[in-house]
Structure 1
């Protein structure tokens, strides 16, 4: 997770139309929409890249013309320095970040450097994140009731993100000979791309997905059932790599179950909260990170063991969960009216998976040296109890419960449109992805005409970040330079 010390002015009022926006090395942008904020537009050169920042005033509610409230959406254009002279003739590629609730990547990420030699790369801070009008516990305090907070959160799913992007495309590409652009999405960003393909396929040249085909054909229970089994497998792999951690983890869990351990952030470190470190297992380096934490969990002070300040500080950093990620995570699977998330991960954990994940001091008291009895970690799951255990999330408890029961979500995908898709699409599917099930992804892909699947066990879910070659290969697949199966 990254943070920024910069900020953009948030907007809750309708802005005046803009009559003369200008951009470096470009003719004037489209002015009729009035979405682009007045300058100055910041631009800088660094690491062989030319960047340009934009702020757009966009409707909070795209489908309700009676609502005049706007929000700011930030986007950064990146072009290789050697291409800035002819950047206006280059095609555009917009990137959708994983999440939900996380800002766009750093402008000098490895894959960005590669793409910026061929494209105007647009790094979007999706609404509610980063330099866009961000959703924070502090900003949500302006609402009088949890219901008002919930209604606000409902405007921050993929359908709204895609509509934001369309207005931005319409503005930035107004004077380009080619009015279409290509899409690249990582994880949840692939969910957003699938929504884009459903809503505005005529605006797209091509789409590239990495670890992010949404499970359109499976229920939320099926999705999380697969997720739990996957994280159990990853936990076993973790202990195979670090066998001494079997005893270390039991020791940590026993201490947390028998002591009240307060974090520097004000929260309490509970056993179930510690188990959530399994979220790290699905990305490169994640297991090593958890192992390092386990090694430094305790210190000896005058012959008495206690949890180290370094360990507690690191665990406290886990408290900083973006509100959108916490509150809307299960709702991203609710495709239309009639679907409610109902804290599905919590129900499965306290039901059929309880024997595997629930830690009992009594159960482990006599088995601390038994390597066959292990403590399983949990993965990418949001639980109702997190609104109690995480100090930063407590103000959102009632709001989160309202959204968990909500059954009025708008549609995200149009299966009829996807079945007739004409946009070239290539997707990297990671064989043992802990976050996005390969099996569920393959089912969805079968319903998207022309989607080409590259199923690989060479990379983890963080593949796009780890290897520049993933985007290069996807580009070659769409260009017909490499043959892969078509769904």
Structure 2
């Protein structure tokens, strides 16, 4: 597979930064140099919890590599710095954070690790394009695109390569007056994928990079990635039942009910057995198994008095809807596409094919098969994990209007490259990464395979944390900082 030979960026239009102060009204719509328009937004500054936050809205090209396209989108970013460092904030280095997903907005400004890092850095929390306060990527927001093909071409602009090019324009704007115009990067999960793209494209803009559970599987096929993922969620499911053995029967009961009844969700959608199985995604996060157990305990309610019939409770359905039905379109529809590195590669609904093929006997469910083993504790319902399926475009009401668009994206083969293996093999940027030993979301073995191709990366492999380690403990990022600073001795890959 060929790769771009140079990490140099394309020539792309400059961003426009709205600089309206908090106490002034926003201006009228403003025409940009490249003919687009920016929905106005102010820079709002506020102080809370010992932190000072400053909000920015940038007008950026929708298509960075197509100068003939004049359409722009808004990208939001929030700078956070500790109040105690305000006097010398202009002299402090910058640290930009990339969220997991894809499709989720940046974390709360007062998260534990943010508060700690803001004492040393100007921390920039980015709402990656299409998320949070950036131009939304929803069925509603793209309703002006009349055909599935137009929708698909729009979605193609929301992968890591576009996110990184957004970042470069933001860096050039915010660090324009800084002595050191480089910044450091932190990436959680998919955010680590973005960092690997950044290291491939613009290594000269980076002081250091810190990856938490997010080294992309560059050396492994998508089929390998998902085979490993299915095996991992099987192991996590077995741990769940070992922790809560009575849930073996509870889950069977829920699945049987869903298979024999049409269960309407609060938003009008239908809860199917296979959709319920997707709650296994929670197993890879701290507290996730306890959360699913709590759901199982409150699943049924008796209707019509002591001798009445049992139904799934409204509390259960509301909680499941909260967990599932707000799934961002980017997360569902582009999830497999984030692994497509270059022309000739298509995702082809890999997770769906494996589920109905090699793993059908494990994850498949039928009332008859499970009734025959109703009291057999070894015959369990396995949950699925972070897998996006073609049938989700039927089962999730919010995704149904994008079904044809998703099909086009799944079969698209002309993706641009995300990584430059030649550049990464000669990397000189200090990189420290934590790899979680039995990470259910980003496979450890695949991460190690990739790390061997990134010169100088330091790996910290641990079973002390789950995939949510950055959120769970300030110590994760603190240790990565120390690794780059040479304060702890970690082997170099």
TM range (shorter): over 0.9
Find out whether 1:183 has 2:189 as its counterpart: no
Whole-Å separation in 1 of the counterparts to 2:354 and 2:372: 28
Structure 1 counterpart of 2:330: 324
Find out whether 1:310 has 2:315 as its counterpart: yes
Counterpart contact for 1:43–1:51, Cα < 8 Å:
yes
Whole-Å separation in 1 of the counterparts to 2:250 and 2:316: 13
Structure 1 counterpart of 2:195: 193
Q: Structure 2 unaligned runs (5+)? A: 1-12, 23-31
Structure 1 counterpart of 2:472: 466
Structure 1 counterpart of 2:124: 122
Q: Structure 1 unaligned runs (5+)? A: 1-13, 24-31
**1:85: Cα distance to partner?**
1.1
Whole-Å separation in 1 of the counterparts to 2:456 and 2:175: 26
**1:184: Cα distance to partner?**
0.1
1:135-214 aligned within 5 A: 135-214=137-216
**1:16: Cα distance to partner?**
10
Say if 1:18 and 1:287 are closer, same or farther in 2 by CA, change over 3 A.
closer
**1:140: Cα distance to partner?**
1.6
Structure 1 runs (4+) greater than 2 angstroms displaced: 14-23, 32-40
- Per-residue CA deviations over 1:187-245 (Å, capped at 9, x if unaligned) read 00000000000000000000000000000000000000000000000000000000000
- Per-residue CA deviations over 1:96-150 (Å, capped at 9, x if unaligned) read 0000000000000000000000000000000000000010110121111000000
Structure 2 counterpart of 1:95: 97
- Per-residue CA deviations over 1:418-469 (Å, capped at 9, x if unaligned) read 0000000000000000000000000000000000000000000000000001
Say if 1:80 and 1:149 are closer, same or farther in 2 by CA, change over 3 A.
same
Say if 1:414 and 1:22 are closer, same or farther in 2 by CA, change over 3 A.
farther
**1:471: Cα distance to partner?**
0.6
- Per-residue CA deviations over 1:274-326 (Å, capped at 9, x if unaligned) read 00000000000000000000000001112211110000111222111101001
Structure 1 counterpart of 2:64: 62
Counterpart contact for 1:264–1:313, Cα < 8 Å:
yes
**Over the residues paired in the alignment, what is the CA RMSD in angstroms?**
2.0
Say if 1:16 and 1:85 are closer, same or farther in 2 by CA, change over 3 A.
closer
Say if 1:413 and 1:431 are closer, same or farther in 2 by CA, change over 3 A.
same
**1:40: Cα distance to partner?**
3.8
Corresponding residue to 2:384 among 360, 364, 378: 378
Find out whether 1:451 has 2:444 as its counterpart: no
Whole-Å separation in 2 of the counterparts to 1:366 and 1:19: 65
How many pairs does the alignment contain?
467
Structure 1 counterpart of 2:29: none
- Per-residue CA deviations over 1:2-30 (Å, capped at 9, x if unaligned) read xxxxxxxxxxxx9996798889xxxxxxx
Whole-Å separation in 2 of the counterparts to 1:301 and 1:36: 54
What TM-score, normalized by structure 1, do the two folds share?
A: 0.93
Structure 2 counterpart of 1:298: 300
Whole-Å separation in 1 of the counterparts to 2:295 and 2:230: 23
Structure 2 counterpart of 1:253: 255
Structure 1 counterpart of 2:485: 479
Whole-Å separation in 1 of the counterparts to 2:14 and 2:227: 47
Whole-Å separation in 2 of the counterparts to 1:17 and 1:178: 22
Structure 1 counterpart of 2:114: 112
Whole-Å separation in 1 of the counterparts to 2:261 and 2:358: 28
Corresponding residue to 2:399 among 393, 418, 432: 393
Whole-Å separation in 2 of the counterparts to 1:256 and 1:387: 19
Counterpart contact for 2:93–2:183, Cα < 8 Å:
yes
SS of 1:260's equivalent in the other structure is coil
1:334-349 aligned within 5 A: 334-349=340-355
SS of 2:78's equivalent in the other structure is strand
Counterpart contact for 1:33–1:171, Cα < 8 Å:
no
Corresponding residue to 1:270 among 247, 269, 272: 272
Whole-Å separation in 2 of the counterparts to 1:477 and 1:20: 37
Find out whether 1:236 has 2:242 as its counterpart: no
Say if 1:64 and 1:245 are closer, same or farther in 2 by CA, change over 3 A.
same
Say if 1:434 and 1:281 are closer, same or farther in 2 by CA, change over 3 A.
same
Structure 2 counterpart of 1:281: 283
Whole-Å separation in 1 of the counterparts to 2:167 and 2:387: 28
SS of 1:41's equivalent in the other structure is coil
Say if 1:193 and 1:16 are closer, same or farther in 2 by CA, change over 3 A.
closer
Say if 1:215 and 1:33 are closer, same or farther in 2 by CA, change over 3 A.
farther
SS of 1:236's equivalent in the other structure is helix
